[in-house]
Amino acid sequence: MKCNELTKLLNISLLTPDKIDPALEVSGCYCGDLLSYVMAHAKAGDVWLTIQTHQNIVAVAVLLNMPCIILVEGNMPQNDTLFKAQKEGVVLMSSQDTAYHVAGCLYSLGLGR
């Protein structure tokens, strides 16, 4: 599945500009808000669902080759987080729904199965 399909299939808005390749491929999903734990357990290709908005989330995504972060429950990135995501080429999205809801939708779409 490609990142840009997510915005079409789910009620999710894209925060980073289109020039970051929204056609990046995602192959799984991970939910977590303790960044040290996510660093140790998420996998390359995962879409990451989190409520954390601090700029460190971008570094964690880059470290693990996670192409896309979805901020759930209407959380919006801090300015420097959005700036870093643009700079590092990480797709940042936001959803009003909970991580449970978004992960459920992704699962039912077949992601990571």
Residues that bind other proteins (CB under 8 A): 33-39, 52-56, 59-60, 78, 80
The residue among 1 and 35 lying less far from other proteins, judged by its C-beta, is: 35
CB of 36 to other proteins, least distance (A): 5
What torsion do the CA atoms of 42, 48, 54, 55 make, to the nearest 10 degrees? Answer: 80
The residue among 14 and 59 lying less far from other proteins, judged by its C-beta, is: 59
Q: What would you report as the CA-atom Rg of the chain, rounded to the nearest whole angstrom?
A: 12
The residue among 32 and 67 lying less far from other proteins, judged by its C-beta, is: 32
- Check: CB of residue 107 under 8 Å from CB of residue 113: yes
* Tokens standing for residue 87: 């700079």
